[in-house]
Amino acid sequence: MATKRAGSGLTVTQQTAKFLGVSVLAGAVLAGIALPAAGLVGLAAKGSVEGFDEIPANMKRPPLSQRTTILDVNGDEIAKVYSRDRTVVDFKQISPHMRKAIVAIEDSRFYEHGAIDLKGVLRALNQNAQSGENVQGASTLTQQYVKNVFVEEAGNDQEKIADATQQSGAAGIGRKIRELKYAIQVEETLGKKQILENYLNITFFGQQAYGVEAAAQRYFSTPAKDLNLEQSALLAGLVQSPSRYDPVNDPDEGKKRRDIVLSRMAEVGDISSKEAAAAKKKPLGLKVSQPKNGCITATKGAGFFCNYVEEVFLSDKAYGKTRKERVKRWNQGGLTIKTTLDPKAQASVQASIENHVNQSDEVATAVSIVEPGTGKILGMGQSRPFGYGKNQTEINLAVNEDMGGGRGYQPGSTFKPVVAAAALEQGTSVYQKYKSPYKMPYPSPVAQCDGKSWTNGAGSTVENENETEVGPYRMKEATALSVNTYYVELISEIGICPVTNMASRLGLDRADGKKFQQVPSMALGGQEMAPLSMAAAYATFANNGVHCTPIAIESITDAHGKALKVPKSTCERAMSEQTAKTVNSLLRGVVEDGTGQKAGLTGRDSAGKTGTTDERYAAWFVGYTPQAAGAVWVGDPKHERRMVDITIGGQYHPKVFGGAVPGPIWRDAMSGALEGKPPTNLPTVPIKDDKKEEKKDKGKKKDKEKEKDRRDRGGKKPSGGSDNPWPDVSFPPDMTGGGGNGGNGRGNGGGDGGWPELR
């Protein structure tokens, strides 16, 4: 309600009403209103009252901000997101009680007058002039509707909101005159029924509810079509001042206002006095539904996936040329977005996370699962939930920084298969053998992409996890044991450029958006990646060497049911089928020991790789089957807490390896995600074993049998034993280590590889 303007005798409403009254008396009203070409209004509002020959389209049916509903692949709701909680309904979906109540209290002569109620204006002018205060308004429902359209268009732009609600001075008069002119045209174009429908859909009812449907659900948990008499009266009474008459915060004030509406309905003949009296005796009958808005309310721990869907929308020019336009489209809402999220996979991801890592742990975990051949994201979760409180975060730890994620994390030895694939594509034999000593200087020079060479001017060295890891090795053994010196020799021979090119073809880039550093320590996973990117890269091996970009959206329909364009996965060949099959053979869980099956994927063909970065700031397991590829990262997002002498998920670890925490998370998440799906085989090629290695393996097998026999007899574990996450499984060092330096190497490692080495 307008107040008296300081320094003047009349408010804007009074001045406007006086002007109209004078126009009526002068016989200057044509087609409902007279607009002067000069004078008081012309001083500030001339531009506001010209050019109104036709009603703007937005006045007929404004694009109202509504809820957007995000669904999983089965069509079940994940979350609702909105700038304004509103669901548009048509006239027949609004209770007759509600229609009568709003007219009775806001504009009882609505069906009798035109856009402007001249009798009401003169009445208000007379009463306000006598009191010296603005005690009675003169706006019709049509005028209120026009004003609400301007407010709706302003969105969250405070400057535009101020313009749309300006009360004082010439600008306020100009706004009022503009609204009056539009109101006339709205009446002529739409008619009473459509105006009332539009009004009830656009107006604000308090408690974050815009429109009568959202209000009915918020206060009474019922649709607008089922509102009874007293419920309708309460909602109609809120429009004048939603905060003052809020029945949730002030039930007494809310009831007083409701009863005023009931009395007014009786006065105008909508209901009898007896009906009004009976309704007044009834309690408010509130059944409040708390507003649930945004990804923070997502089900099944899918808050970060929900946020990723929003980022995908805001990044796609199909929804607007500029990000500002796309944000406006997103806030306008009214969309139904069906995603790729598989509820079974998501539930399995979340359950596995909660079973292995606590929200309050010093470190966190992030998990992503994608489908080979389609790029569909099946599951995405992390141990620190979406939120702003303690042990919560709004950063999606699974994705790149530009999609709402962080700077990424060094993948360690999980990057070595990328180097292997690049070498195989260059013609390197899978039987290529290198000396692979325990410790060695980085070979120099090494070819870079720009035609220059990296040189080891600082004398940087690289070493393996264990002193017993001494070559010569071939690719199969070096991969199984995660021999750092082998892979450094390999990248030094083929050059850095083939590796960076292979990484790009696999969809791998640095999570912080920076370019790859041209250093040989790249072979050891020293440059930051995101779990989603790693999962999609490994899915390429399962898909015969064809990489598919990850996608999160299957379909989008707007408020009118029209299908919108959605981003599609782009599938391109990253390597030959032969290379992919060879990598599968190298990673097959590891083939020699069948550790993929013993990790929980019983009866399924699987492959995978662990990684542990230098100083144990991060540990990974990335693995796949023909039907799903998953990446698990565990670490401190701030890169401050080393994972030594640490308790994670209630279990103490002297040192965390890739197989010690990420491995079990991957095993449980994938097992649940694939439950009920028939197993299929990975495409592989036979790789002959080195005769010497076969002898070593036989010796290892005997040692394992002796150890098993000792345990069966209740013997104690000898001191200095390995940190094995699965006591009944014997792992190659890679499956429990991943190459200790993980990218920085010893010394300078040919560059910092992203994070500086902290000791």
- Angstrom CA distances, 540 to 176, 490, 702, stand at 63, 22, 37
Q: Give the span between the Cα atoms of 11 and 514, in whole angstroms.
A: 59
Parallel, antiparallel, or unpaired for β 644-648 and 377-382? unpaired
Structure tokens at 263: 């009395």
What is the reported pLDDT for 591? 35
Residue type, 142: T
- Which residue's entry shows tokens 């009252």? 49
What is the reported pLDDT for 741? 40
Q: Give the span between the Cα atoms of 239 and 201, in whole angstroms.
A: 12
Query: Is pTM beyond 0.85 here?
Result: no
Sites in the chain below the pLDDT cut of 70: 1-62, 120-138, 155-175, 589-600, 690-759
235-240 LR contacts (CB < 8 Å, sep 24+): 235/98, 235/101, 235/102, 235/205, 236/98, 236/101, 236/102, 236/104, 236/105, 236/106, 236/261, 237/105, 237/261, 238/205, 238/206, 239/102, 239/105, 239/106, 239/203, 239/204, 239/205, 240/1, 240/105, 240/106
Q: Max alpha carbon distance in the chain (Å)?
A: 113
Nearest Cα neighbor of 436 from 633, 693, 670, 247 is 693
Number of other CB atoms surrounding residue 167 within 10 Å: 18
Residue type, 721: G
- Which residue(s) pair with 573 in the sheet? 546
Q: Give the span between the Cα atoms of 677 and 144, in whole angstroms.
A: 58
What is the reported pLDDT for 285? 94
In sequence order, what are the residues at sequence separation of 6 or more whose Cβ sits closer than 8 angstroms to the Cβ of residue 521? 442, 462, 488, 743, 744, 745, 749, 750, 751, 753
What is the reported pLDDT for 125? 58
What is the reported pLDDT for 9? 45
